[in-house]
Amino acid sequence: MSTLGAYFRLARVGWVLVREGVVSSLPSQGLPPSVGLMKSLIEPLARNHSLKQARSERLTRAVDRLGPSYVKIGQFLATRPDVVGVDWAVDLAMLQDRMAFFPTEAAKSAIEGSLGRPIDDLYSSFGEPIAAASIAQVHPAQVNGKQMAVKVVRPGVRQRFAHDIESMYLLSRMQERFVPSSRRLRPVEVTRTLEQTTKVEMDLRLEAAALSEIAENTKDDPGFRVPQVDWERTGRDVITMEWIDGIKMSDIAALRAAGHDIEKLADVLIQSFLRHTLRDGFFHADMHPGNLFVDSTGTIVAVDMGIVGRLGKKERRFLAEILYGFITRDYRRVAEVHFEAGYVPAHHDVSSFAQAIRAIGEPIHGQPAETISMARLLALLFEVTDLFEMQTRPELILLQKTMVVVEGVSRMLNPRFNMWKASEPVVGEWIRANLGPKRVVSDIKDSLRAVVKLAEAVPEIATKTEKFHGELLHMSEHGLRFDPETAEAIGQAEARHSRSGRVALWIIALSLLYIAFTL
């Protein structure tokens, strides 16, 4: 029945997208003839007023009808321009994560259930909600006379998302099966990443841990901080943190009126992001203007740490070498790094890939730095990597998306913002420290640690090898066999899957016919 429900939900999603004109706005170029024919047949079913709206407005209306889970799905896909295309990623990024409030009593019940204490014992006062998103809403509260912000998970959102993600898995499996060219993008893996990141976002203890970690990393950084967490009043469904009195970075007029140095704020923002990425390997991956405030001291305060990204030591090194190669016009080295990292399959030619990279890099050096758009550069890079079958790297896509957003905020503050000049102090320092002699010393230390761990594991490896050898000998003599219960379970599962699939397809077909005739 789970598979049957997924088919029904997927049919509803398709119907909403058709009615709101989203399907009509899909490009027809490059579609298989059968898909193009189906698109032309269903386009007349779109509402007339929808066809007069911009594509971003159609998307917003469709997502509003589909519910909170699809706001989160749309925002996640906005981070994957390699999957949906740069233009669609821009439209999806415009989805507003603002939902209707749920009752305060429901929020209080969720807090008491999560923390196991009455609300009056936890807070001296607890106010009505002031902001609501797809996963949680925020309430003002006081603890011992101190103003706090309390974020509470929306009731039932986990169950709703669990049902909706089934439909996403079904769609991604169909995509991999029927659209071979999409397998390079690993749609099932993309869906799995969506599921994991959203589950993490729904556990507010993990957001609190992210805030704590970034607070430790940035305690000595100039001009940047995050709110402090009240761990006593934080659980799975609730996080209590410092109330931030500040001006949103999107309110340029208010920032100027308060006397803040707008151009300096733009530089501090990009430098802070690069420090977190290169130095710490841990960064806030949702740094849009609504999550960034400037307090009375001129310090940037970042909130809403539900989405974070991590880069390992090797990934940071590869990133720095690629960036440094573009700056110095060493395109051959940029290409070699892609192959060393395994980003591009080994059967491709390094020189040909370097030529393609040059086609991206050379226009950069012919323009004033303040006119170079990171979004445009990424669009060109995705086109090139598609030609060379570059496998999707979720951690790099999240980094690239966040970099585009942060650059956009900085340019909003300062239209003549020079990203390369602002970045140089941080990137240059990291390159000098990690791509020179210090790198050799660091690599030697890492190698010694690996050798010690390997030596400690030798006895266990020998035992497992001996056991595996014995099992192989037994299989070669007696063959591989299933016990009767296993064989019967496999047969029943296959039969059940086939029946449910056929029933689902018939029900969906009849439902669509009914809807069409009753319009």
What residues are annotated to the active site? 286
Q: Which of 347, 439, 429, 437 is nearest to 388 (CA)?
A: 347
H helices present in 29-67, as ranges: 33-42, 55-66
**428 phi and psi angles, rounded to 5 deg:** -60, -45
The DSSP secondary-structure symbol of 277 reads: I
The region that residue 281 occupies, defined by phi over 0 for left and psi between -120 and 50 for alpha, beta otherwise, is: left
Tokens of 505: 């397809």
Location of structure tokens 């960064």 = 283
DSSP E strands in 82-216: the ranges are 125-126, 131-132, 136-143, 146-153
Report whether 274 contacts 426 (CB < 8 A).
Answer: yes
Q: What is the DSSP letter of 306?
A: S
Nearest to 309 by CA among 431, 235, 189, 400: 400
Phi, psi of 94 (to 5 degrees): -85, -5
CA 53 to chain centre: 28
Count the Cβ atoms, other than its own, within 10 Å of residue 369.
14
Helix (H, G, I), strand (E, B) or coil at 129: coil
Of 96, 190, 109, give the one whose Cα is nearest residue 156: 109
Extract the tokens encoding 373. Answer: 């758009």
Q: Which amino acid is at 181?
A: S
Q: How many angstroms separate the first and last alpha carbons of the chain?
A: 29
- DSSP-derived letter for residue 367 is S
Length, in residues, of the chain: 519
The DSSP symbol for 53 reads S
